[in-house]
Amino acid sequence: MLNITEIRITKIEGDEKLRAFAAIILDGCFLVGDLRVVEGEDGYFVSMPSKRKRDGSFKDIAYPLNNEARDLIEKQVLLAYENTTGARAISRIESGEATTVRPDLLSVVEFGFTAKPNP
């Protein structure tokens, strides 16, 4: 499975919902940056890297293909955020209310991949 070997947190001040940027290093050799720690109405969550399209909408450019990977990334990034800032961010995950992967984020056919179903 996924082995996150390092997480870097950069705290953001003065934004209404954005609390930090995060970067994760996978197996000590692949960096995924521009993850965002966001405080939403239902608690904290991790938003995946995205870019703005010409029409003004946003498109995720890196994201997990299944719920297990998404939950692992979110939990580890939020724990790192807590350790860095002292803020409590993972209560939603601990209570079992973690979100599931939205089906629209699994449309990876345009990249030539197919999402794997959870076992």
**What CATH number corresponds to the domain at position 41?**
3.30.1120.40
**Mean pLDDT within 66-84:** 93
**Mean pLDDT within 24-32:** 94
pTM: 0.74
With 90 as the cut, is the pLDDT of residue 103 above it? no
* The amino acid at 109: V
**Mean pLDDT within 55-68:** 92
Question: What pLDDT, on the 0 to 100 scale, is given for residue 2?
Answer: 82
| Residue 118, domain member (yes or no) | no
Query: Domain span at residue 37?
Result: 4-50+60-111
First to last CA, the chain: 13
Encode pLDDT of 33-60 as tens digits.
Answer: 999 999 988 889 999 999 999 999 989 9
| Residue 117, domain member (yes or no) | no
Contacts of 15 (CB under 8 A, 6+ apart): none
With 60 as the cut, is the pLDDT of residue 64 above it? yes
| Residue 99, domain member (yes or no) | yes
Domains in the chain, number: 1
